[in-house]
Homo-oligomer: A and B are copies of this chain.
Amino acid sequence: MFGAATSRSIAIDAMGGDRGPDAFAQGVALALKDPEFDTNFDELILVGDESILFPALRKAGISGEKRIEVHHASEVIGMDEKPLMGIRRKPDSSMVQALHLVRDGRASALLSCGNTGSLMAGGTLRIRPLPGVERPALGTIIPTRESKFILLDAGANPEPTALQMCQNAILGSNYAKVAIGKERPRVGLLTIGTEEGKGSARIHESHERLKQLDSVIEYTGLIEGFQVFQNHVDVVVCDGFTGNIVLKVCESLFKMLSGYLKDELSANWLRKTGAFLSMGAFKEIKHQLDPAQYGGAPLLGLKAPVLKAHGSSDSESIAGALKIAANALKYDMTEHIREDIEKATQVLERISEDNSTNGPEKEMASS
**CB of A274 within 8 A of chain B?**
yes
How far does the alpha carbon of A66 sit from the alpha carbon of B268 in the complex, in Å?
48
* B-chain residues with CB within 8 Å of residue A278 when the two chains form the complex: 265, 270-275, 278
How far does the alpha carbon of A200 sit from the alpha carbon of B155 in the complex, in Å?
11
The answer to whether A192 touches B241 (Cβ under 8 A) is: yes
**CB of A285 within 8 A of chain B?**
yes
**CB of A253 within 8 A of chain B?**
yes
How far does the alpha carbon of A242 sit from the alpha carbon of B285 in the complex, in Å?
28
Evaluate whether A144 and B256 lie within 8 angstroms (CB atoms) in the complex, with A278-B274, A284-B264 already known.
Answer: yes
Using a CB-CB cutoff of 8 Å, which residues 124-179 of chain A contact chain B? Answer: 144-145, 155, 158-159
Evaluate whether A224 and B248 lie within 8 angstroms (CB atoms) in the complex, with A158-B192, A271-B280 already known.
Answer: yes
**CB of A181 within 8 A of chain B?**
no
Using a CB-CB cutoff of 8 Å, which residues 227-279 of chain A contact chain B? Answer: 227-230, 238, 240-242, 244-257, 259-261, 264-265, 267-268, 270-279
A262 nearest CB neighbor, chain B only? B281
How far does the alpha carbon of A240 sit from the alpha carbon of B203 in the complex, in Å?
14
**CB of A225 within 8 A of chain B?**
yes
The answer to whether B226 touches A145 (Cβ under 8 A) is: no
How does the 8 Å CB contact mask read for A171-194 relative to B, with 1 for contact and 0 for none? 000000000000000000011110
How far in angstroms is the closest Cβ of chain B from A156? 10
How does the 8 Å CB contact mask read for A210-229 relative to B, with 1 for contact and 0 for none? 00000000000000111111
* B-chain residues with CB within 8 Å of residue A255 when the two chains form the complex: 229
The answer to whether B252 touches A253 (Cβ under 8 A) is: no
**CB of A199 within 8 A of chain B?**
yes
How far does the alpha carbon of A248 sit from the alpha carbon of B224 in the complex, in Å?
8
How far does the alpha carbon of A190 sit from the alpha carbon of B271 in the complex, in Å?
37
A116 nearest CB neighbor, chain B only? B193
Cβ-closest 3 pairs across A and B: A225-B248, A274-B278, A274-B277
Name 16 extra pairs, CB < 8 A, besides A224-B245, A226-B249, A226-B251.
A192-B244, A225-B245, A225-B246, A225-B252, A228-B249, A229-B249, A230-B252, A245-B246, A246-B246, A264-B281, A264-B284, A271-B280, A273-B277, A275-B281, A277-B277, A278-B278
- Can you identify 6 A-B contacts, CB atoms within 8 angstroms? A226-B249, A249-B249, A250-B253, A261-B285, A274-B277, A278-B278
